[in-house]
Amino acid sequence: MLDIKISNLLNDQINKELYSAYLYLYFSNYYEEQGLSGFANWYRIQAQEERDHAMLMRQYLLNNSEKVILKQIDEPKIELKKNIDALKAGLDHEKYVTELINNIYLVAYEIKDFRTMQFLDWFVKEQGEEETNADNLVKKMEMFGDDAKSLYLLDQELASRLYSAPSLVL
C-alpha cells in the first residue's frame, strides 16, 4: 500500500495528464483548422503520449492496491490567435507538468518511498525530453514561422513524427 499522500498526488496527476492530452488535442484541432497537418500530427501524438502517462500512473496505483479516482477534465481555456501561441502554451504547460512530477518525487523522497521514486525516474527523464522538444519547436517557429516556404518545410518535418508507446516496465 502506498502512503495516502502519494496515492492522492498520483490520482491528481492522472487528471493532469489527461488534461494535457485534452490540451494537446485542442492544439491539434487548431492546427488542422490552419491547414498545418504536420503540426496537428505532432500534437495528436503528444495527446497520445499524455494519455499513456496517465495510464501508466493508473496501473501503478492498481499494482499497489490503490483506488484510482477519475476526476472531471477541464476544458482548455487558451485563446490561440497565431501559430506560435500553441507552441508557447505547450512549453509553459510542460514546465508546469515538470513541477508537478518533481513535487510528487519530493514527497516520495521525504517519506522514503523508494519504489515510487524509482517509478517516477522515467517521468523525470521524460519531462526533460518534453521540455526540450517544446522549446525547440518554439525556437524553430520564431526563426522560420514568418516565411511560408520554411513553415511548409517545418510542417512536413512534424508530419513525419510517428507514435511510439512508452517502454516503462511497471
Tens digits of residue pLDDT in 120-159: 999 999 999 999 999 999 999 999 988 999 999 999 999 9
- Asked whether residue 11 is domain-assigned, the answer is yes
* pLDDT recorded at residue 145: 87
Whole-number average pLDDT of the chain? 96
- Asked whether residue 72 is domain-assigned, the answer is yes
Distances from the Cα of 5 to the Cα of 11, 39, 66, 106, 114, angstroms:
10, 38, 12, 11, 14
Query: Does residue 162 carry a pLDDT above 80?
Result: yes
- Asked whether residue 65 is domain-assigned, the answer is yes
Residue 17 structural domain: 4-159
pTM of the model: 0.94
- Asked whether residue 155 is domain-assigned, the answer is yes
Percent of the chain with pLDDT over 70: 98
Query: Does residue 108 carry a pLDDT above 90?
Result: yes
Number of structural domains (the chain) is 1
- Asked whether residue 165 is domain-assigned, the answer is no
Residue 27 is part of a domain; what is its CATH number?
Answer: 1.20.1260.10
Residue with cell 506560435: 84
> Stretch 24-49: mean pLDDT, rounded?
98
C-beta atoms surrounding 137 within 10 Å: 21
- Asked whether residue 169 is domain-assigned, the answer is no
Helices (H), 34-147: 37-63, 83-110, 114-144
**In contact, 38 and 155? CB cutoff 8 Å:** yes
d(CA 11, CA 55): 11
> Stretch 71-92: mean pLDDT, rounded?
96
d(CA 98, CA 126): 9
